[in-house]
Amino acid sequence: MRENGSSAYTTGKKTDLVMYMTLKQKIVRCLRCATCDKESLNRRLLKWCKCFKEVEKELNRCKKC
């Protein structure tokens, strides 16, 4: 991680760990903000679900190439 908190991307397994931790931190922050409002939390989770499905489709498409 850099001093300002942004991810320093490298090659190999370390990159995966950095990306995972960054994603995890973003999700945790969003959940903390949304937990006081169940409707907001549900909207956020549905949005993430949709995004993850789109990413999965892209990854599968790239694997076939």
How far apart are alpha carbons 31 and 33 in whole angstroms? 5
Domain boundaries, the chain: 13-64
pLDDT at 12: 52
CB neighbourhood size of 30 (10 A):
16
pLDDT at 5: 47
4-43 tens-digit pLDDT:
444 444 445 566 666 666 777 877 777 776 566 778 778 8
Residue scoring higher pLDDT (59 or 36): 59
pLDDT at 1: 41
> If we measure between CA atoms, which residue out of 31, 28, 57 comes closest to residue 43?
31
The DSSP result for 1-63, as a single string, is --TTS-----SSHHHHHHHHHHHHHHHHHHHHHHTT-HHHHHHHHHHHHHHHHHHHHHHHHHH
